[in-house]
């Protein structure tokens, strides 16, 4: 059996290319040139003796073997980075302010932050729960170190770390979705969750009314639990006592939203960098990335 040795940088480039869908963006993020990234992918194919990509014009699509390598590459990188974090974690201390909407604080971050605390016991994370738009302002002013937010139409900067599928939901025993006009529990004006909900109903020709406005996901859930309204949240917030409603109930499909990770220019401590990098690693762009073919743009 011929043993091969895979450079960790090749695996990191593969994961980044699939995550971003772009060799150009990968080169920018990793501080390499586009030809260097392309050469790493070609070398990875040579070493594995497998075709990892199908070429369709300027687009690349992962093959079945490519998906297999990607799955293992993510595991290898996770263990590699965990080892380095463990070796350095005891030396890093300080406080980091993490801003995020309560939706993500409640349903997406607990398991990740729990592991982070074990890896970095001397770093204290202070949570600041607020809506995405004010949080971006806080992180840019340096009042929040790290922010995980929903991309709004006017946002600039930030790193896309995940996509969240929006769904219609209401209480298990609720008949609010059968009412006319449809009662809605929504976030305040200016939030993209609200915009997509109203836009979808308008395009479908369905009448609606606002039954509840809340800045907190708890308020929206309370209205849904009580049978007062239908709401729109990310699928990660679908908990016991609530059910998804969709096309079978006459509701239009909803898009995905992008989650952005911001780091303040003033957040230069090792503690802030550790938390930022940890979140960037453990909040994947697509949870099922390894189970499907992903088109990748060669030039951009």
Question: The CATH number of the domain where 270 resides is what?
Answer: 3.40.190.10
- The number of domains in the chain is 3
Q: Assess whether 33 and 50 both reside in one domain.
A: yes
- Are residue 247 and residue 118 in the same domain, yes or no? no
Domain check: are 263 and 276 in the same one? Answer: yes
Residue 72 and residue 132 in one domain: no
Q: Give the range of the structural domain holding residue 268, as residue numbers without chain letter.
A: 93-161+258-282
Query: Are the C-beta atoms of residues 39 and 14 closer than 8 Å to each other?
Result: no
Q: Does 1 reside within a domain?
A: no
Cβ atoms of 272 and 263 within 8 Å: the answer is yes
Residues 139 and 272 in one domain: yes
Asked whether residue 2 is assigned to any structural domain, the reply reads: no
Portion of the chain with pLDDT greater than 90, in percent: 50
Residue-averaged pLDDT of the chain: 87
Amino acid 1: pLDDT: 40
156 and 263 together in one domain: yes
Residue 169 sits in the same domain as residue 252: yes
What is the CATH classification number for the domain harbouring 21? 1.10.10.10
Answer yes or no: is pLDDT of 66 > 50. yes
Residue 78 placed within a domain: yes
Residue 23 · residue 256 · CB < 8 Å = no
- pLDDT band for position 288 (cuts 50, 70, 90): very low
Cis peptide before 181 (omega within 30 of 0): yes
Examine the domain organization and report whether 143 and 266 are in the same domain.
Answer: yes
Tens digits of residue pLDDT in 119-128? 888 899 999 9
Q: What is the pLDDT of residue 81?
A: 76
Reported as a single tens digit per residue, the pLDDT across 132-158 is 999 999 999 999 999 999 999 889 889
pTM above 0.95, yes or no: no
Q: 232 - beta bridge partners?
A: 168
**56 occurs within a structural domain:** yes
Residue 71 has pLDDT above 80, yes or no: yes
Q: Are residues 144 and 157 in the same domain?
A: yes
Question: Is residue 135 within 8 Å of 204, Cβ to Cβ?
Answer: no
Rounded to the nearest 5 percent, the helix, strand and coil shares of the chain are 45, 25, 30
Residue 241 or 31, more confident: 241
Lowest mean pLDDT among 7-16, 65-74, 117-126, 278-287: 278-287
- 128, 138 in Cβ contact below 8 A? yes
Q: Assess if residue 38 is contained within a domain.
A: yes
Same domain, 141 and 263: yes
């Amino acid at each position: 059996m011929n043993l091969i040795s895979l450079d960790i940088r090749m695996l990191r480039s593969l994961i980044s290319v699939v995550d971003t869908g772009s060799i150009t963006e990968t080169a920018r993020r990793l501080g390499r040139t586009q030809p260097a990234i392309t050469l790493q992918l070609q070398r990875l194919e040579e070493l594995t003796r497998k075709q990892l990509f199908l070429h369709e014009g300027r687009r690349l699509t992962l093959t079945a073997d490519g998906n297999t390598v990607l799955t293992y590459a993510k595991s290898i990188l996770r263990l590699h980075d965990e080892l380095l974090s463990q070796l350095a974690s005891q030396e890093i201390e300080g406080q980091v302010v993490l801003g995020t909407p309560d939706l993500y604080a409640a349903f997406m971050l607990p398991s990740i932050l729990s592991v982070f605390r074990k890896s970095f016991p001397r770093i204290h994370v202070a949570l600041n729960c607020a809506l995405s738009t004010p949080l971006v302002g806080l992180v840019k002013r340096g009042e929040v170190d790290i922010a995980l937010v929903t991309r709004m139409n006017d946002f600039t900067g930030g790193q896309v770390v995940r996509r969240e599928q929006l769904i219609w939901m209401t209480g298990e025993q609720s008949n609010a979705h059968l009412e006319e006009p449809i009662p809605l529990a929504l976030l305040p004006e200016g939030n993209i969750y609200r915009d997509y909900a109203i836009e979808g109903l308008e395009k479908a020709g369905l009448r609606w009314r606002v039954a509840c406005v809340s800045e907190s996901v708890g308020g929206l859930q309370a209205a849904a639990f009580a049978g007062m309204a239908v709401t729109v949240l990310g699928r990660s917030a679908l908990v016991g006592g609530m059910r998804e409603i969709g096309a079978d109930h006459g509701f239009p499909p909803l898009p995905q939203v992008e989650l952005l990770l911001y780091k303040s220019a003033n957040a230069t401590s090792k503690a802030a960098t550790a938390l930022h990098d940890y979140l960037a690693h453990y909040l994947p762009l697509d949870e099922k990335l390894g189970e499907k073919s992903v088109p990748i743009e060669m030039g951009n």
